């Protein structure tokens, strides 16, 4: 595989993980573990594919993906935030429902090539053959980092994730702040799902996200809940994903299935490696704890 092809495919594979991972970091900094991300991503992917195929316009596909990702994530967020339901079970319920729903709504759209968005090369011939959206999407972790560390909203988000009782007594509405964080996460998940079908794979297949939603959840502890460190994890796992195809061309016969499972195995290893006292200090202290006013 040529180097430039390798790099562009790594970037297109990294962007979904980058977006979803950053979203997860944000929402976990607000104290909510979003395990519904796989469901939100695949539903967004399905609706993006359907919209893009029926209208012939990929931008409408992105819009549909964002809306669906947002709605599904808010649906999830309302269960633990509003009704104090267990976050883990609620997340898994919405992921299961999302997986089932996506394959039902997108029945009959399998195999169609989706209309693609223009590449940077069409705009200016010297640019790499990446899609025009990727430069914007690549800076999103930076933006979220800025949001978390430099803005008032970021301060509120960190406060409700670390000590919701103190934040509440200072007049921060814990529920609203967490919902805002969840809706930003939802938008990013929707973008990520839409990007997978419209750019990375360019067609809808059942289960197209292939566990990227779960990988995104794992990226949060892996990057010490720091948006900028999501770059490292996302590119690492995207690299592993693309290397599978490179390795298949090697003369040494490695079972394809072993290559396919490396990202998951490396992820478990990564979760072990990042376990340390430093990590313990960085965990949002109210992560996974429902807020009740006492």
Quick one: 10 or 99, whose CB is closer to another protein?
A: 99
Instruction: State the Cα angle at 229 between 29 and 219, rounded to 5°.
Output: 65
Least Å distance, CB 132 to another protein, is: 32
Rounded to whole angstroms, what are the CA distances from 273 to 75, 147, 224, 255? Answer: 34, 28, 12, 26
* Position 267 contacts another protein (CB under 8 A): yes
3-state secondary structure (DSSP) of residue 131 = strand
Q: What track of x and - describes contact with another protein for positions 187 through 226 (by CB under 8 A)? A: -----------------------xx--x--xx--x-----
Q: Are 177 and 158 in contact (CB under 8 A)?
A: no
Q: How far is the CB of 63 from another protein (least distance, A)?
A: 20
Q: Where are the alpha helices (H) located in 106-229, listed in sequence order?
A: 120-123, 134-138, 140-150, 152-162, 164-169, 174-195, 212-222
**Contact pick of 63, 71, 132, 153 for another protein (by CB under 8 A):** 153
Q: Does 257 bind another protein (CB under 8 A)?
A: yes
177 interacts with another protein by CB under 8 A: yes
Q: Does 67 sit near another protein (CB under 8 A)?
A: no
- With a CB cutoff of 8 Å and minimum separation 6, the contacts of 276 are none
> For 282, what's the count of Cα atoms within 13 Å in the CB-facing half-sphere?
15
| 166 interacts with another protein by CB under 8 A | no
Three-state DSSP state, 113: strand
Under the criterion CB under 8 A, does residue 74 sit at the interface with another protein? no
Give the shortest CB-138-to-another protein separation in angstroms.
Answer: 25
Query: Among the candidate windows 15-23, 88-96, 195-203, 231-239, which touches another protein by CB under 8 A?
Result: 88-96
Residue 119, strand partner residues: 131
Sequence-distant (6+) residues with CB within 8 A of 264 are: 211
Binding range to another protein, per CB under 8 A, among 58-66, 103-111, 131-139, 191-199: 103-111
DSSP string, 229-240: GHHHHHHHHHHH
User: According to CB under 8 A, which one of 60, 92, 165, 247 is a site residue for another protein?
Assistant: 92
Q: How far apart are CA 96 and CA 76, in angstroms?
A: 12
The correct pick among 163, 243, 264, 289 for binding another protein (CB under 8 A) is: 264
User: Does residue 285 touch another protein according to CB under 8 A?
Assistant: no
Q: Does 268 bind another protein (CB under 8 A)?
A: yes
Rounded least distance, CB 248 to another protein, Å? 14
Distance of CA 14 to the CA centre of its chain: 10
**CA 247 vs CA 2, 177, 215, 243: distances in Å:** 13, 45, 22, 6
Q: Is 156 in the site for another protein (CB under 8 A)?
A: yes
Interface positions with another protein (CB under 8 A): 35, 39, 79, 82-86, 88-90, 92-101, 103-105, 152-153, 156, 171-173, 175-177, 180, 210-211, 214, 217-218, 221, 255-258, 260-261, 264-265, 267-268, 271-272, 275, 292
């Amino acid at each position: 595989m040529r180097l430039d092809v390798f790099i562009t495919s790594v970037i297109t594979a990294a962007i979904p993980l980058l977006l979803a991972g950053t979203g997860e970091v944000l929402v976990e900094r607000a104290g909510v573990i979003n395990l519904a991300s796989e469901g939100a991503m695949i539903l967004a992917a399905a609706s993006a594919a359907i919209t893009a195929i029926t209208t012939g316009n990929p931008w409408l596909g992105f819009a549909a993906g964002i809306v669906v990702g947002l709605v599904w994530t808010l649906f999830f967020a309302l269960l633990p935030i509003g009704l104090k339901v267990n976050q883990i079970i609620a997340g898994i319920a919405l992921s299961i429902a999302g997986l089932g729903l996506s394959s039902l709504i997108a029945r009959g759209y399998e195999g169609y090539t989706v209309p693609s968005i223009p590449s940077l090369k069409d705009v200016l011939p010297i640019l790499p053959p990446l899609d025009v959206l990727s430069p914007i999407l690549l800076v999103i972790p930076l933006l979220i980092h800025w949001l978390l560390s430099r803005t008032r909203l970021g301060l509120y988000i960190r406060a409700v994730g670390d000590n919701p009782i103190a934040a509440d007594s200072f007049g921060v509405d814990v529920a609203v702040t967490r919902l805002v964080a969840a809706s930003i996460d939802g938008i990013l998940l929707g973008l990520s799902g839409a990007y997978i079908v419209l750019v990375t794979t360019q067609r809808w297949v059942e289960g197209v996200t292939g566990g990227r939603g779960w990988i995104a959840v794992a990226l949060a502890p892996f990057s010490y809940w720091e948006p900028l460190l999501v770059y490292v994890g996302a590119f690492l796992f995207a690299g592993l994903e693309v290397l599978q195809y490179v390795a298949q061309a090697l003369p040494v016969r490695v079972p394809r299935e072993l290559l396919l499972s490396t990202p998951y195995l490396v992820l478990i290893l990564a979760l072990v490696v990042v376990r340390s006292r430093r990590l313990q200090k960085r965990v949002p202290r109210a992560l996974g704890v429902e807020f009740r006013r006492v």
